[in-house]
Amino acid sequence: MKPIAMLGIALIVLGVAGLFFSRISWTETKPVAKMGPLELNAQEDHSIWIPTAAGAVAVLAGVALVFAGRKTA
């Protein structure tokens, strides 16, 4: 399989994942203070929003790359 077609397949997979999971979130624990055996931690929430249009564009670009890889064969 040509590298351009493999890139196209990767874009299709990432685009479909972006369409299904429009938001990715995680919690990060950071140490605030450490006094001997005592330790204070704070939890911080993070979120990344993936626009629907970005997922659709990635899928379309992936399909175009797969077809471009087929035509040059």
* pLDDT, mean of residues 16-45: 93
* pLDDT, mean of residues 39-61: 94
* Residue 56 pLDDT > 60: yes
Distance CA 21, CA 62 (A): 18
pLDDT confidence bin for 1, thresholds 50/70/90: confident
Q: pLDDT at position 72, please?
A: 57
* pLDDT, mean of residues 26-41: 92
Q: Buried b / exposed e across 32-66, counting CB within 10 Å, b at 16+?
A: eeeeeeeeeeeeeeeeeebeeeebeebbeebeebb
Question: Cβ contacts of residue 38 below 8 Å, gap of 6+?
Answer: none
CB of 41 closer than 8 Å to CB of 32: yes
pLDDT confidence bin for 69, thresholds 50/70/90: confident
